[in-house]
Amino acid sequence: MGKKLISGLLESRTNFRTRAEDWLNSGMEGDGWTAPYLSWDSLIKIDRQTFYAGAGKECAQYDWAFQQAGDKHGIDPVFLAFLAMQESSCNPNAGGPTPGLMQVACSNYPDGQCTNDVWKSVDAGAAFLRRQLDNNNRNAIKVIGNYNGFFTKQDGTGLNGGRGLTRDYPCSQEGRNNGMPQNLDYLQQVLNGWFLGLNPYGEDNWLGDYHCSGNCNSGHFC
């Protein structure tokens, strides 16, 4: 893949993968995740049509929903398309405890009921994203981490002994009891994958050093 772009700097693929994720996942190897600050307004991203023509082609059919929800909640629709691809591969029938295109908790729906309905799912995802932006000083890393359930000591969740999310937490007994594992490569895959038109679920699966597999077997962390 040659060299990739991160925050205006060119890195070799190996350095890009390691250094980028180490920064995004700051603290996860120690006392808990501490989200560094990256302004939402400074994010490097491709446009929707470029995304739909490549890595995000499965999302093109739902552009109408991203546009409407983006307009309603004051969010560039392309961010919703990126998250939909990360969360469900743009499959409105994706299952799990938070089903649907955007995979957000049922509490984010107006009636508190999860659904596979495309519009309701995208609207719920956009509403949740809007709250994260408003509540976290538009810190893109905290906002996107929160979307996947990342937490810091300052969040006061009481989880992990009151610490932030650590690399070993998802496969701990407490982590499993709280619906883990999580994808600890999430920030890397979103910000340095979909945002740049790369496909971390396909040919660009080299993105991410945590090698999250969705299970806790054979030494996997998440």
Q: Could you list the residue range(s) of the whole structural domain that residue 114 is in?
A: 30-196
Residue 47 domain-assigned (yes or no): yes
Residues 6+ apart with CB under 8 A from 15: none
Give the domain CATH number at 93: 1.10.530
Q: pLDDT tens digit string along 56-77?
A: 999 999 999 999 999 999 999 9
**CB 153 within 8 Å of CB 163:** yes
Residue 29 is which amino acid?
E
Q: What's the total number of domains in the chain? A: 1
Residue 218 domain-assigned (yes or no): no
Residue 17 domain-assigned (yes or no): no
Cα 101 to Cα 87: distance, rounded to the nearest angstrom? 7
Q: Which of 45-59, 101-115, 166-180, 203-217 has the lowest average pLDDT?
A: 203-217
Q: pLDDT tens digit string along 167-192?
A: 999 888 899 888 777 789 999 999 99
| Residue 138, helix vs strand vs coil | coil
What's the pLDDT band for 1 if we cut at 50, 70, 90?
very low
Higher pLDDT, 97 or 186: 186
Which sign, positive or negative, has the C-alpha torsion 101, 133, 146, 30?
positive
Q: Among residues of the chain, what percentage have pLDDT more than 90?
A: 72
Burial class (CB in 10 A: 0-12, 13-18, 19+), 117: middle
Cα 198 to Cα 216: distance, rounded to the nearest angstrom? 26
Q: What is the mean pLDDT of the chain?
A: 89
Residue 3 domain-assigned (yes or no): no
Cα 43 to Cα 112: distance, rounded to the nearest angstrom? 32
List the structure tokens of 91: 């499959």
Residue 56 domain-assigned (yes or no): yes
Which sign, positive or negative, has the C-alpha torsion 165, 166, 168, 172?
negative
pLDDT at 7: 41
Element (H, E) at 20: helix 13-24
* Maximum separation of any 2 CA atoms in the chain, in Å: 48
- Mean of pLDDT values over 116-120: 95
pLDDT at 209: 81
| Residue 4, helix vs strand vs coil | strand
pLDDT at 95: 87
Residue 220 domain-assigned (yes or no): no
What's the pLDDT band for 17 if we cut at 50, 70, 90?
low
Residue 212 domain-assigned (yes or no): no
What's the pLDDT band for 215 if we cut at 50, 70, 90?
confident
What's the pLDDT band for 199 if we cut at 50, 70, 90?
very high
**CB 160 within 8 Å of CB 127:** no
Higher pLDDT, 69 or 216: 69
